[in-house]
Each structure stands twice: as C-alpha cells, then as structure tokens.
Copies of this chain bind each other. A is one copy, B any other.
Amino acid sequence: MATIASVKANCRKIMCIGRNYADHVKELNNQRPKQPFFFLKPPSSILLPGAGPVLRPRGVTMHYEVELGLVIGKTVQDLDPEDSQGALEAIEYYLLAIDMTARNVQDEAKRKGLPWAIAKGFDTFLPVSGLISKSRIPDPHNAHLWLSVDNQVKQNDNTELMLFRIPRQLSDISKVMTLEKGDIVLTGTPKGVGPVITGDVMKAGLIIEGKEIEEANMEVA
C-alpha cells in the first residue's frame, strides 16, 4: 500500500470542486453553479500529517474548508457521468483534506476576474490525513465530515449533501484534463468555513456508520 508521503511525492495535479454544497454556496453569497467547476492547487501545497503548522502569509485572511479527497488510481478520460462504477474504479484511496484558502486574496481575484492560483496555492495550504482504504468508505456519498477549531465544531455535514456527485465531478473534469494515477480530487466543502489565526488548532475527521475512521483523523495548527 502507498503512503500519503509517496502520494505527495508523485502527485501531479490536484483538482478541487468549488461550490458543491448548497449551504456553503449561500454562506459565501455565491451563485449556485449550473455545472461543476474546479480549480487547481499545486502539489507543493500539500502538508503531510505532522508537518505543520500551516503557514500564514502576511496580510492573508486564512479560511479552512474540510473536504473528502479522492486519490486517483488510473488514467481516465471522458468518463460518462452516469458511469458510477467507472468513477468508483478510478479511485484508489480516499483522504481527508483541508483546502486552506486566502479568502481576502480570493475575494479580490473574484472581483477583478483574476485566477485563483495564488489564493489557493500557498505552500502548506493543503493539510491532508493519511490514506484511507476504499473498503473503509463503502459509500462516499454517505460520509460525515467534521472540522473543529480549538475544539469548537465548525463544520459537520454529510457528503450526501453534495450538489454534484463524484461520477459527475470526475466526468466533467476528465472531459477537460486526463486524470492520471496519483492525481487528487477534492470534492468540495460543506457549510461552516471560517478564519483561523496563528495558534488555532484545527482538528478534522470522518465518521462512517457512526464510527470515526482513525486514518482520517487530522490535527494541525
């Protein structure tokens, strides 16, 4: 079995779905998308377990976004959006991740029509859990994500709330970019995003059928 360190070492692209939970779209006063859209984070932004803290660039309002991540296991092009089995077969592992976002930088980029690469791409802006075997998550559309800051729960929702499910996400992405082994897809964040400041401790986890998945547990300052 691969390790999360080898996934980081070999990852070539990270595609992140935006606005994929209705209540999160509302909390940021965004428009609900008619189709999935995504942005890229660079592999250099991955922060391995225990390698923290997340660096806080000067002048940046940094937000957490907990997300279920997919580690792709094979080459996928032009996947049919109805091909649920094909989508599941494309996934080699799951992971939990926090899509750290320089919210004020992103807000300015959105206002000016500029790319999101800087807002999303700083070094350390993608803390990840260890790898989670597929067998641990029988249904990725029924997994409970949570994130706390200094032990106060901030995000706490089920992946069943996704606006676009994983087959549709992988279909839309793979019609643009060939998915390759080792690529990572982040599936969007539920409501409850907010700022963290230096010293705040983020914890996050994944609950399946009422049980915490140990490999998913994250703690990062």
Residue on B nearest A31 in the bound complex, by CB: B112
Taking residues whose C-beta sits less than 8 angstroms from the other chain, chain A's interface range is 20 to 34
Q: Which of A13-56 contact B (CB under 8 A)?
A: 13, 15, 18, 31, 37-40, 42-45
B-side contacts of A40, CB under 8 Å: 40, 42, 115, 117, 121
Q: Mark A153-186, 1 if CB is under 8 A from B, else 0.
A: 0000000000000000000000111101000000
B-side contacts of A213, CB under 8 Å: none
Contact A122 B44 (CB under 8 A): no
Asked, given contacts A177-B44, A177-B121, whether A113 binds B115 with beta carbons under 8 Å apart, the answer is no
B-side contacts of A38, CB under 8 Å: 115, 117-118
Contact B12 A43 (CB under 8 A): yes
Does residue A136 face the partner (Cβ distance < 8 Å to B)? no
B-side contacts of A175, CB under 8 Å: 57
B-side contacts of A211, CB under 8 Å: none
Whole-angstrom CA separation of A176 from B12 in the bound complex:
18
Whole-angstrom CA separation of A82 from B38 in the bound complex:
35
Contact A176 B113 (CB under 8 A): no
Does residue A5 face the partner (Cβ distance < 8 Å to B)? no
Does residue A110 face the partner (Cβ distance < 8 Å to B)? yes
Contact A117 B44 (CB under 8 A): no
| Residue in B43, B118, B180 whose beta carbon sits within 8 Å of that of A176 in the complex | B118
Task: Give A residues with C-beta under 8 Å from B.
Answer: 11-13, 15, 18, 31, 37-40, 42-45, 57, 77, 109-118, 121-123, 175-178, 180
